[in-house]
């Protein structure tokens, strides 16, 4: 009996439109010769609205020290994470005290005691609950996090919960910090969110986790970076990332599906991390998918932006809300390494 995802909860801070963010802040942030380029990047990002615990329209953090940003992270992430976890538990019909493992993924803030300790206390988890914190893995962290929770549930026969919480808005960089396109792209895409999933043993209604697999191309390790600086964390994002994904994504997906007697044509739903429009274009092309296959992924990018690790869970939530949820789902996420993760889900006694 495979571990089954039986609950999912999402929490989002206030949102603003991409146009409002550009006109109200970034137009001035990228004044001078970079302005026209930045304007085009924002317009072509595929993002219509984004969320932020610290909106640049209200509060400019670009000059804050890393210490000040980390203090704000703890204050903002705890209530957002609490809301996502509470909703996931309610969706699964479980109490916080039922959990055997509580795992947290985040690359945008660090403190001890951290979210795992504070939320376990505030939500009434057992003193015996085991905790796991996964940090600085970036956009793909939800899938190795899910793999760890799934392994625990399979081995111990007790429920586990994964929380992904990212506050990218706290890492807005000064206009002179990096003048290349990479920084502009990051500022045009990234957003804040928290998402949580409950995994339980047995044949409950939900999605059974059949396999989690990965491949890392260390020859391209410098293509995606997340550097800790005195002024927050700074993203490096090479335009070559889609090219690297194009080399590896088909082989990885085919290998996982073949081990389960399936092909790409057998997959009913695709939860692809929307790192940006070009990444989705490459995945669609390499897997020979039609436009409808990535509708939820593109919709999440448009409505929420790239929220780092929670984003692929937001896409999964959209898929499970279809009038007729897909019986099988492939989840794909990408990040530093460069690393590709794939997860195969299969419907388990799906509720009507």
Give domain limits for the chain: 4-200, 206-348
Rounded-to-integer distance, Cα 255 and Cα 44, Å: 34
Catalytic residue status for 107? no
Q: CATH says 206-348 is which class?
A: alpha beta
Same fold flag, 4-200 and 206-348? yes
CATH of domain 4-200: 3.40.47.10
Nearest residue to 106 (alpha-carbon basis) of 71, 72, 89, 81: 81
Radius of gyration, alpha carbons of the chain: 19
* pLDDT tops 90 at residue 177: no
pLDDT band at 202 (very low <50, low <70, confident <90, very high): confident
pLDDT tens string 76-104: 999 999 999 999 999 999 999 999 999 99
- Residue of 107, 139, 164, 307 marked catalytic: 139
Model confidence, pTM: 0.96
The per-residue pLDDT for 179 is 54
Give the confidence band of 176 by pLDDT, cuts at 50, 70, 90. low
**Confidence bin at 58 (pLDDT 50/70/90):** very high
pLDDT band at 34 (very low <50, low <70, confident <90, very high): confident
Q: Where are the alpha helices (DSSP H) in the chain?
A: 18-21, 27-29, 35-43, 66-92, 115-122, 142-156, 181-189, 241-259, 277-287, 295-304, 311-320
Q: What is the pLDDT of residue 340?
A: 98
Residue 116's pLDDT is 97
pLDDT at 169: 98
Q: What is the pLDDT of residue 178?
A: 46
Element (H, E) at 346: strand 339-348
Question: How far apart (Å, rounded) are the C-alpha atoms in residues 138 and 335?
Answer: 6
Mean pLDDT of 258-287: 97
CA geometry: angle 78, 80, 83, nearest 5 deg: 105
Using the predicted structure, report yes or no on whether residue 124 has a pLDDT greater than 90.
yes
In whole angstroms, what is the distance from residue 72 CA to residue 77 CA? 8
Greatest pairwise CA separation for the chain in angstroms: 60
In total, the chain counts a number of residues equal to 352
Percent of the chain with pLDDT over 70: 97
pLDDT category at 350 given cuts 50, 70, 90 is very low
Backbone phi and psi for residue 119, each to the nearest 5 degrees, phi listed first: -75, -35
């Amino acid at each position: 009996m495979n571990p089954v995802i039986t609950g999912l909860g999402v929490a989002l801070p206030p949102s603003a439109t991409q146009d409002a963010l550009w006109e109200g802040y970034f137009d001035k942030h990228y004044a001078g010769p970079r302005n026209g380029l930045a304007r085009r990047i924002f317009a072509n990002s595929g993002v219509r609205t984004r969320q932020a615990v610290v909106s640049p329209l209200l509060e400019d953090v670009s000059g804050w020290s890393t210490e000040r940003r980390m203090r704000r992270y703890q204050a903002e992430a705890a209530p957002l994470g609490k809301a996502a976890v509470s909703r996931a538990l309610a969706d699964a019909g479980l109490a916080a005290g039922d959990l055997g493992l509580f795992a947290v993924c985040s690359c945008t803030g660090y403190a001890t005691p951290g979210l795992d300790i504070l939320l376990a206390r505030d939500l009434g988890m057992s003193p015996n609950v085991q905790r796991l914190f996964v940090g600085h893995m970036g956009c793909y962290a939800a899938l190795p996090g899910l793999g760890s929770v799934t392994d625990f549930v399979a081995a111990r026969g007790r429920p586990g919960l994964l929380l992904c919480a990212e506050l990218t808005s706290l890492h807005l960089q000064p206009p002179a910090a990096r003048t290349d396109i990479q920084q502009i792209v990051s500022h045009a895409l990234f957003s804040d969110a928290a998402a949580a999933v409950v995994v339980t043993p047995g044949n409950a209604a939900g999605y059974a986790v059949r396999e989690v697999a990965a491949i890392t191309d260390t020859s391209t390790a410098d293509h995606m970076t997340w550097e800790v600086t005195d002024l927050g964390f700074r993203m490096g994002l090479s335009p070559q990332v889609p090219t690297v994904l194009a080399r590896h994504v088909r082989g990885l997906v085919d290998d996982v599906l073949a081990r389960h007697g399936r092909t790409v044509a057998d997959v009913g739903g695709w939860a692809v991390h929307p790192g940006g429009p070009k990444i989705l274009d490459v995945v669609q092309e390499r897997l020979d998918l039609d436009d409808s296959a990535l509708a939820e992924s593109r919709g999440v990018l448009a409505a929420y932006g790239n929220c780092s690790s929670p984003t692929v869970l937001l896409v999964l939530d959209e898929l499970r809300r279809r009038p007729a949820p897909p019986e099988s789902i492939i989840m794909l996420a990408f990040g530093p390494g460069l690393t590709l993760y794939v997860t195969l889900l299969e419907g388990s006694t799906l509720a009507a």
